[in-house]
Structure 1
């Protein structure tokens, strides 16, 4: 039975951290194609975001091996832009780089799909108004994968060169070795609501959103996460008392700006105060 939710309705996804090999190449990709700004940079790490807000941390580690095809990890990081005009600007950048791999209308959102130079999946999307999201009788979200009219998206392009200031990481989508274990962790332990489940995938959220964490078993991963790729992602919570409560419930480890735990696939999860 699902426990009382551990994460409050005001929680959201914060930063995503990737362990990578080529810091220059990956920084350039997320700057010019995704449209993020470089907020800080050292020889081994770059933080990118919008309007001073960090969204992505790139950690260079030349000793890390490439992610094995059997390993769990990242399916994609999903950057949420605030409007169709912003999605049109993203489409312009992605097409200019020759990076567009797919595009879908999910009833709740319009999404572009691409892959960074080291094989990490990326989604750039905009939400449709929440009052038109299809819902089941119990209030959960129904999503489909339909063709996206790219001509309509392109026509909305407003000439902006970069992602707008209110861009966020809307969700992360993971690849798991065990969908039942992932459901137990994200729904029963962290308290996210299961919005959709079936066909080898699970979509969970906080506060009625269509999904903050997606998990799938489509590619038959059989080993824990490791090597290059997703290092951790974070939930941002509204106050310190939430962190104190979660530390008790989750038996988490303290880190500099919050607490840390791992999911059943050894993917790191950080929690910090906004």
Structure 2
């Protein structure tokens, strides 16, 4: 292979998820997480975003209506990572999730970011995270990035709201 590099300005524009029920997915992504419904395609698809973008997440039942989640030990999407602007924004969402006793599947400090993990109603993994300032990212002795996974202190995160 040649040494082609994708442009540094490249971003992931959106994710499109197969879901079993549009309404329950909208209740989760819009009602709980706070995304905005932009448009629907009949009863089979919905497009949602933050800040009025055409869509960050597409939801559809075209091949999955009333379906069941895939088995855990198969290939597929591990999770959708939703980048929040600040640590306080992450704390606000954690507070909302705790208020309704929504189960988390994990919480981690990755050195470069802090994240909480959960599953949507179809058991699609969701990571809610914020990036620490780049100057705080840990590095190894050789100067390369030193990402890790350590427990995230959720009580400390909640202190952002105090």
Q: TM-score, normalised by structure 1?
A: 0.53
Alpha-carbon distance in structure 1 between the residues aligned to 2:34 and 2:161? 14
2:128 counterpart residue number: 124
1:77 counterpart residue number: 80
How far off is 1:123 after superposition? 0.6
How far off is 1:81 after superposition? 0.5
Correspondence for 2:96 among 93, 106, 124:
93
| 8 Å contact kept, 2:113–2:129 | yes
1:227 counterpart residue number: none
How far off is 1:10 after superposition? 0.7
1:3 counterpart residue number: 2
Alpha-carbon distance in structure 2 between the residues aligned to 1:38 and 1:17? 14
2:114 counterpart residue number: 110
Aligned length: 157
Matches within 5 A, 1:180-219: none
- 3-state SS of the aligned residue for 1:93? helix
- Give a deviation string over 1:12-66, Cα, whole Å, max 9, x none: 1110000111110011101122221111123111111111112100011328664
Q: Structure 1 residue 15 and structure 2 residue 18: aligned?
A: no
Alpha-carbon distance in structure 1 between the residues aligned to 2:56 and 2:161? 23
- 3-state SS of the aligned residue for 2:128? strand
| 8 Å contact kept, 1:108–1:143 | yes
Q: Structure 1 residue 145 and structure 2 residue 145: aligned?
A: no
Alpha-carbon distance in structure 1 between the residues aligned to 2:78 and 2:123? 10
Alpha-carbon distance in structure 1 between the residues aligned to 2:66 and 2:20? 8
- 3-state SS of the aligned residue for 1:26? helix
- 3-state SS of the aligned residue for 1:101? strand
1:24 counterpart residue number: 23
- Give a deviation string over 1:149-173, Cα, whole Å, max 9, x none: 2122212238xxxxxxxxxxxxxxx
**Closer, same or farther: CA 91–63 of 1 in aligned 2, 3 Å:** closer
Which has a greater percent of strand?
Answer: 1
Q: Which has the higher contact order (CA 8 A, sep 6+)?
A: 1
| 8 Å contact kept, 2:47–2:59 | yes
**Closer, same or farther: CA 145–117 of 1 in aligned 2, 3 Å:** same
- Give a deviation string over 1:56-109, Cα, whole Å, max 9, x none: 000113286642444311111110101111111111122123222321111111
Q: Which runs of 5+ in 2 are unaligned?
A: none
Q: Structure 1 residue 157 and structure 2 residue 158: aligned?
A: no
Aligned-pair Cα RMSD in Å: 2.0
> Which stretch shows the higher mean deviation, 87-96 or 16-25?
87-96
1:244 counterpart residue number: none
